Amino acid sequence: GDKAFAQFLTDEIKEEKKIQKHKSLPKVSGGWELEVHGTEARLVRKVAGEKITVTFNINNSIPPSVDEETQEEQKPDEQEPDLTSTPNFVVEVIKDDTKQTLVLDCHYPEDEVGHEGEEDSDIFTIREVSFQPTGESDWKDTNYTLNTDSLDWALYDHLMDFLADRGVDNTFADELIELSTALEHQEYIKFLEDLKSFVKCQ
């Protein structure tokens, strides 16, 4: 069984490499620097007196495919739909002269992705906002967290503008999807290769 498994993985890796869009990770415009640690990626940008950090993890970032009935009618030679990675991402804004970091928890609503026609709709939403002490890795649950579900829309709009002024806008969100998808695919291929070595190991 292991031999067949290893052979299957070899073919699968070949196929995945064939459809791999980016041999190297796509850049995010606007002067963001990328750091990648395994499945976690961080984009950092410094603007006048502020440091903006966007962190996301590609694990569980591919939404489940909804239309399972159509899967069966698919002819075997048809291309599978492109998998897109839409991770939740956290934006941290640190001002040089305060001890606090403003943390905005953002995500891509499932029904929004794919509605490109609407010019004014945002492709991501802010879910939660809180202040955290700067430089502490563990966030305190005791800090007030603002949930945007019941938020005054004017305040919400200002928060979105606040992000846009710092380069986190629809263009950024689009490029983040692009980057995350490439990263996810790269990690998937690496996982298949590791699995193959593991299976072959006697």
73 belongs to a structural domain: no
By residue range, what is the domain housing residue 142? 1-59+83-200
Q: Sheet holding 89-95: strands in order across?
A: 33-37, 40-47, 50-57, 89-95, 100-107, 125-133, 145-147
76 belongs to a structural domain: no
**What pLDDT, on the 0 to 100 scale, is given for residue 33?**
96
Number of independent structural domains in the chain? 1
Q: Percent of the chain having pLDDT more than 70?
A: 84
98 belongs to a structural domain: yes
Mean pLDDT (whole number) for 48-63:
93
Residue 106 has pLDDT above 70, yes or no: yes
Mean pLDDT (whole number) for 91-120:
77
Kindly report the CATH number assigned to the domain that includes residue 102: 3.10.280.10
10 belongs to a structural domain: yes
**What pLDDT, on the 0 to 100 scale, is given for residue 72?**
45
77 belongs to a structural domain: no
**What pLDDT, on the 0 to 100 scale, is given for residue 167?**
95
Give the global pTM.
0.84
